[in-house]
Amino acid sequence: MAVSSLLDVDNLGIFFETPRGMVPTVSGISFSVRPGERVGIVGESGCGKTVTGLSLLGLLPPQVARVSGRALFEGRNLLTMSRSQLRRLSGAGIGMIFQEPMRALDPVFTIGEQISETLRAHTDVSRREARLRSIAALAEVGIPSPERRYDDYPHILSGGMQQRVMIAMALICRPRLLIADEPTTALDVTVQAQIIDLLHRLSDERGMALLFITHDLGVVAELCTRVLILYAGQIVEDAAIESVYRAPKHPYTAALFQSMPRLSLRGKPLPVIGGRVPGFADMPGGCRFRDRCAYAQPGCVRKPELESYDDRRVRCFRACDLTLPGAV
**Residues within the interface to other proteins (CB under 8 A):** 16-19, 45-46, 50-51, 54, 57-59, 61, 63-65, 83, 87-92, 95-96, 98, 100, 103-109, 117-118, 121-122, 153, 155, 166, 169-170
Pairwise CA distance, residues 318 & 296, whole Å? 9
Q: How far is the CB of 299 from other proteins (least distance, A)?
A: 33
In sequence order, what are the residues at sequence separation of 6 or more whose Cβ sits closer than 8 angstroms to the Cβ of residue 215? 42, 43, 44, 45, 49, 182, 185
User: Closest distance between other proteins and the C-beta of residue 199, in Å?
Assistant: 17
Pairing of strands 94-97, 7-18: unpaired
Minimum CB separation of residue 26 from other proteins in Å reads 12
For other proteins, give the closer residue by CB, 153 or 295: 153
Taking the complex as a whole, how short is the minimal distance between the CB of residue 18 and other proteins, in angstroms? Answer: 5
Tell the smallest beta-carbon distance from residue 98 to other proteins (Å).
7
φ, ψ for residue 107 (rounded to 5)? -65, -20
Nearer to other proteins, 96 or 239 (CB): 96
Q: For other proteins, give the closer residue by CB, 118 or 234.
A: 118
Query: Could you tell me the sign of the dihedral formed by the alpha carbons of 311, 317, 321, 327, in that order?
Result: negative
DSSP bridge partners of 243? none
Rank residues 106 and 311 by Cβ distance to other proteins and give the closer one: 106
What is the three-class DSSP state of 226? strand
Nearer to other proteins, 64 or 294 (CB): 64
Where are the strands (E) in 261-326, listed by range? Answer: 307-309, 312-314
Residue 22 burial (CB count, 10 A): 10
Q: How far is the CB of 267 from other proteins (least distance, A)?
A: 30
Nearer to other proteins, 115 or 316 (CB): 115
Distance of CA 235 to the CA centre of its chain: 13
